[in-house]
Amino acid sequence: MTQKDDEQKNLTDHEYDGIREYDYQLPTWWLNLFYASIVFAAGYFIWYQWMDGRSIQEEYQAEKAKLDIILANEASKSATVSEADLLALVKEPAQIKAGKEVFQNRCAVCHGAQGQGLIGPNLTDEYWLHGGKLAQIAQTVTNGIPEKGMPPWGPLLTPQQIHSVVAYIRSIRGSNPPNAKAAQGELYKE
Ligand code: HEC
């Protein structure tokens, strides 16, 4: 049988505007792939719907739980810094500058551009609601006082940023800015 005869044998009688159609067998490898994908889809459907398959919500929850652990670790790192380390930062101009930047961007809306107090308390006086030790201030900044409107910054700032903003707050203590908010809390002397 010549090639010509072979082609003739596979020609169907479908004709569209003079264009004719062959009917060849699909390659076995292609058919096998096709059937395998159908079997896989059925299996995947059963696995996803009724077995171990996790929904998008469940995957999100699992990822979020992992992230929460990382953030809690970060937060505890910044909360466990020593008083001496924080006091040392107050003497470093680069830290104060970095802390001031964080303060202007994140804190000034509520505590005033000079820390004089607005919605939040005056941070330049010697009276503190939650403790005036630098380690205590770092705690307050990290965990916030959510029920009183002070946000927790642990999840948003790095430990370094929190330490430098605490150093900055220490550096403006006693600066007596104009329009200072009345003292709140207890007197703290270093
Ligand atoms: C949305 C407003 C808001 C923002 C933004 C905010 N605070 Fe506060 N902050 C408050 C309020 C309100 C309080 C008082 C909480 C209370 O009454 O217990 C407070 C309290 C504090 C205290 C404790 C003061 C004390 O007397 O013990 C510190 C320290 C402090 N904030 C630092 C910061 C820092 C640093 C930032 C920026 C990283 C910041 N806050 C951003 C509202 C805010």
The whole-angstrom distance between residue 13's C-alpha and the CA centroid of its chain comes to: 64
Any ligand 1 atom below 6 A from CB of 88 = no
Task: Assess whether pLDDT exceeds 60 at residue 1.
Answer: no
| Atom of ligand 1 minimally distant from the CA of 185 | 26
* Burial state string for 58-92 with b = 16 or more CB within 10 A and e = fewer than 16: eeeeeeeeeeeeeeeebbeebbebeeeebeebbee
Average pLDDT (80-99) is 92
When the pLDDT of each residue in the chain is averaged and rounded to a whole number, the result is 91
Residue minimizing CA distance to atom 43 of ligand 1: 150
**Higher-confidence residue: 139 or 74?**
139
Cβ–ligand 1 distance for 148 under 6 Å, the answer yes
Residue with tokens 């605490």: 166
pLDDT of amino acid 77: 65
* pLDDT at residue 75, as a whole number: 67
